[in-house]
A and B are shown apart, each in its own frame.
Chain A
């Protein structure tokens, strides 16, 4: 994140309209095409854009942070996860009570924000593994059968792949569990 972006983030958190306009110009077109290409509409895209900004602002207000890497990439991923979640969301009962609605919305936004933080933590830990582990695990998580992994990566047998994945995943599990943030956000 550049110095300029850091300043922008501060202004955004205060609700500066010019910065929001700027972000809209630069980020929204990407978000819109992603959502339209994934079973959404322009108004869905607008909704996600608004939620992603609110999520970012809330996180910063609770605990200041800097975005590693590009802000653009970070924001895009946050929107993508929000949309993934929205698509799978269980239908909830809508009430006409304004206070209940507002509380529910706050609750939902809080869940979204914490889930996003957890997601980032998990990605960070995966990045610490060797390239070989990352490749194997990515295939495992995409549910590629062991047999296919054996063929693609030239291992001797299913069992070798199974053991190798197990080792990689054990490392990853330890890294996640060791992180204090994981212990904070895991449920009480």
Chain B
């Protein structure tokens, strides 16, 4: 096995003049053997350095091993295990957070109240259901420990926590206008603030932005939309959204969606 050309190192470590770089790139285009060698050397930078993670070539999916992995990930068994893992995660979320005990207490008493009240005054309980499902403590904080935590966002969160929703929505909107990369959690905060203000269309708009954000938070949008309709006492719409959530057990708040649907139906 012969050694790879040392020029690759010179190129990758930035030890080439501009004209040398251009000549090298030209060679890469025509010399397939060099191009292949180059690929491996470049890959080493991802594997060993702190550079960006480069996603592998999708061609790899054609290998037997890839096919076996893929068929497992698609299987019902995989779905079942994933659901179990998510159950463990959400159960621990409940146990670990001491603040939650307080909420559970309230939720439990509301649940008791509800079962009683369901027979007595069926229409009045939407407000209470909303209160027991909103769980403000579940929304991760916007204040980060790092140095680049955002001033405007911090301010908006403080206003939100002080229940000054009018001012909070103003700060969030300012943030959304000024920034190009938006922290998706800000849509949740802003949306909930709008719900509190009774501005349901604006709230829905925030959750639409959340859903379009293509971030890990986006999957929460449906659940929050359900909460908007709950507060609005719009039974048809709530049911519609809950049905969507219930179409996939891995959806955010699947269990709660089932519970809620049972209660309002």
Q: A and B, one complex?
A: yes
Chain B residues contacting A169 (CB-CB under 8 Å) are 4, 9, 41, 44
Contact of B53 among A57, A85, A94, A185 (CB under 8 A): A85
Q: Is there an interface contact between A115 and B55, defined as CB atoms closer than 8 Å?
A: yes
Q: How many residues of B contact A (CB 8 A)?
A: 61
Known contacts A37-B145, A61-B72; A173 and B4 CB within 8 A of each other: yes
Name the distance in Å between B129's Cβ and chain A's nearest Cβ: 23
Interface readout for A98-120 with B: 1 if CB under 8 Å, 0 if not?
10001101110111011100110
A86 and B214 alpha carbons, distance in the complex (Å): 12
Residues 69 to 108 of chain B near chain A (Cβ within 8 Å):
69-70, 72-74, 77-78, 80-82, 84-89, 92-93
Evaluate whether A94 and B214 lie within 8 angstroms (CB atoms) in the complex, with A61-B72, A114-B69, A141-B49 already known: yes
Q: Which of A2-10, A41-49, A67-75 forms contacts with chain B? A: A41-49
CB<8 Å pairs between A and B, sample of 6: A17-B87, A50-B89, A57-B78, A111-B60, A143-B13, A178-B1
Q: What residues make up the interface of A, taking CB atoms closer than 8 Å to B?
A: 15, 17, 20-21, 24-25, 28, 36-37, 39, 41-44, 46-47, 49-50, 53-54, 57-59, 61-63, 81, 84-92, 94, 98, 102-103, 105-107, 109-111, 113-115, 118-119, 122-123, 126, 137-138, 140-143, 145-146, 162, 165-166, 169-170, 172-174, 176-178, 184-188
- Contact partner of A173 (CB less than 8 A), chosen from B41, B80, B145, B216, is B41
Task: Name the interface residues of B53-72: CB closer than 8 Å to any CB of A.
Answer: 53-63, 65-66, 68-70, 72
A54/B78 contact (C-beta < 8 A), A17-B88, A42-B140, A106-B73 known:
yes
Distance between A149 CB and nearest chain B CB, rounded to angstroms: 10
Contacts A24-B92, A184-B65 known; A142 to B55 CB distance under 8 Å? no
Q: Is B23 an interface residue (CB 8 A)?
A: no
B72 touches A92 (CB 8 A): no
Write the nearest CB–CB distance from B186 to chain A, whole angstroms.
Answer: 12
The CA of A143 and the CA of B62, in the complex, are separated in Å by 34
B143: shortest Cβ distance to chain A, in Å? 12
Partner of A98, one of B40, B73, B144, B247: B247
Residues of A within 8 Å of B59, CB to CB, are 187-188
Q: What residues of B have a CB within 8 angstroms of the CB of A47 in the complex?
A: 216
B81 contact set on A, CB distance < 8 A: 15, 54, 57
**In the complex, A107→B55 CA distance in Å?**
13
